[in-house]
A and B are shown apart, each in its own frame.
Chain A
Amino acid sequence: MHKIGYFYTDCLVPMVGNNPYATAEENSTELCINAEVYSLPSKKLVALQLRSIFIKYKSKPFCEKLLSWVKSSNCAKVIVLSSSHSYHRNDLQLRSTPFRYLLTPIVPKSVQNRIQSLNWEEMEKSPCIPEIDDSEFCIRIPGGGITKTLYDEGCSKEIPVVVLLKFVSEGDNIPDALGLVEYLNEWLQIIKPCCDDPTASALQWKMPSSWRLLFGSGLPPALF
């Protein structure tokens, strides 16, 4: 995918670094900022990469700006790749696959049918106020950041939003990211699996250099 632009906003904490997707000497010195847009014309895919957290009180304005950009760009649908705290799962969820999907009502029937044919699990409703016994049920995505806001705005503004999420724990989320992109690939077929072995196809995904040293620098030998 090639970088085609930036989503310059006052809603995200600023950060810069060198290109984490560098493949050669020439593109390794490209500066990257906190929100960039990439495209893959062959798959009619545009990706918005967010690299930092939201500034306080700015997550709702960000969702509004994002969805208004989506609407004005005439996108067919928005796919949100997200996660939710695994410790919030109920007993049934603990025993099933960690992947879930959500669709806003306006998502085309063809997409709904395709997803149903994959035998995916839809995100279950849970008590709005867990402590109260007769609380109403609603969609909750604890730990999902702006996911619920995007879903709600998509419902109210009639924007086709597909949420794909995984229940994850804190820590090294690299395997979770690979799992989530494999989940997406099952549907969109961005990379054709080279063979039927699911573990082999995971190796087709390249890891960005920004994922290195997730837990800090090397340890001083004097520590041991």
Chain B
Amino acid sequence: MNSGAWEEVGCAKLWNEWCRTTDTTHLSPAKSFCMFYHLKSNPSVVLCQCNCYVAEDQQYQWLEKVFGSCPKKNMQVMILTCRHVTDYKTSESTSSLHSPFLKALKTQNFKEPPCCPLLEQPNIVHDLPAAVLSYCQVWKIPAVLYLCYTDVMKLDLITVEAFRPILSSRSLKGLVKNIPQSTEILKKLMTTNEIQSNIYT
């Protein structure tokens, strides 16, 4: 976000028990909220960086606030998220899987072929990514969710690199300057957030 190509256009503030602090006045916004940026060269490209956990009873309102004011015509949504590999159900043991790996889910109106295999049943997705994808499916917005299963608890470069195939997708090809530079872009987008997972479930 510091590359100068993105401009901050707004943020969604919320608080729940998962937030790290109760002091919302002195906290740097990027730490605890959902920040919205648009590309200076192409303002119709909007990026949302979610740095907080949106609780299940806040997700519907979050969607109404964010999507309510957007014109839905010609909109396309791409969601990037991570999960711990132990969440992935397969008939083999999860220790035999080569993580990180990417899986996708798409709405009916998303006609592009996804950049990786689709997420097979009985695997499902919860939380804000599921809420966004459900909204897009119901309101017939083309949307794709790319889910990276990784074996680390803190986001690292190897996990972020797993998202590389999406940079050559039709939607993003026009935005990526050139492939060698893309690692730099990915590094800059990396935050020190922990991957959302509850060790008690």
* Chain B contact residues: helix, strand, loop or mixed: mixed
Query: What is the 8 Å Cβ interface bit string for chain A, positions 181-224, against chain B (1 contact, 0 not)?
Result: 00000000000000000000000000011111110111111100
Is B77 on the interface with A (CB-CB < 8 A)?
no
Interface size on B, residues (CB 8 A): 35
Please judge, given known A-B contacts A217-B89, A218-B90, whether A14 and B56 are in contact too, CB under 8 Å: yes
**A14 vs B138: C-alpha distance when bound (angstroms):** 12
Q: Does B46 contact A (CB under 8 A)?
A: no
Do B89 and A213 touch (CB < 8 A)?
Answer: yes
- B-facing mask of A1-30, CB < 8 A → 1, else 0? 000001010100111111110100000011
How far is B184's CA from A15's CA once the two chains are assembled, in angstroms? Answer: 33
Query: CA of A16 to CA of B119 in the docked complex: distance in angstroms?
Result: 10
Q: Which residues of B contact A14 (CB under 8 A)?
A: 56, 59, 126-127, 130-131, 134
Given A8-B138, A30-B108, A217-B89, verify A15-B121 contact (CB < 8 Å).
no
Query: With A and B bound together, what is the CA distance between A54 and B178 in angstroms?
Result: 46
Cβ-defined contact, A17 with B125, below 8 A: yes
Asked if B91 CB lies within 8 Å of chain A CBs, one says yes
Residue in A8, A16, A22, A216 whose beta carbon sits within 8 Å of that of B124 in the complex: A16
Chain B residue at smallest Cβ distance from A211: B122
Q: Whole-angstrom distance between the alpha carbons of A58 and B130 in the complex?
A: 19
- Any B CB within 8 A of the CB of A33: yes
Given contacts A13-B56, A220-B95, contact A33 B138 (CB under 8 A): yes
Beta-carbon contact of B95 and A212 below 8 Å: no
* Residue on A nearest B93 in the bound complex, by CB: A220
What total of chain A residues lie within 8 Å of the partner, measured CB to CB?
34
Report which residue of B59, B119, B134 has the largest number of chain A beta carbons within 10 angstroms of its beta carbon.
B134
Chain A residues with CB under 8 A of B126? 13-15
A56 within 8 A of partner (CB): yes
Residue of A nearest to B64 (CB): A10
Q: Does B34 contact A (CB under 8 A)?
A: no
**Within the complex, which residue of B59, B88, B121 is in contact with A217, where a contact is CB–CB below 8 Å?**
B88
Whether A31 and B133, one on each chain, are in contact in the complex, defined by CB atoms closer than 8 angstroms, is: yes
Residues of B near any A CB (own CB < 8 A): 56-57, 59-61, 88-96, 105-108, 118-127, 130-131, 133-134, 137-138, 145
Task: A16-B124, A18-B118, A220-B93 given; name 10 further pairs at CB < 8 Å.
Answer: A14-B56, A14-B126, A29-B106, A209-B122, A212-B121, A213-B89, A213-B90, A217-B88, A217-B91, A218-B91
Cross-chain pairs A/B with CB under 8 angstroms, 19 sampled: A6-B138, A8-B134, A10-B61, A15-B134, A16-B133, A16-B134, A17-B119, A17-B124, A31-B107, A33-B133, A56-B57, A209-B122, A211-B122, A212-B91, A213-B89, A217-B88, A217-B90, A218-B93, A221-B93
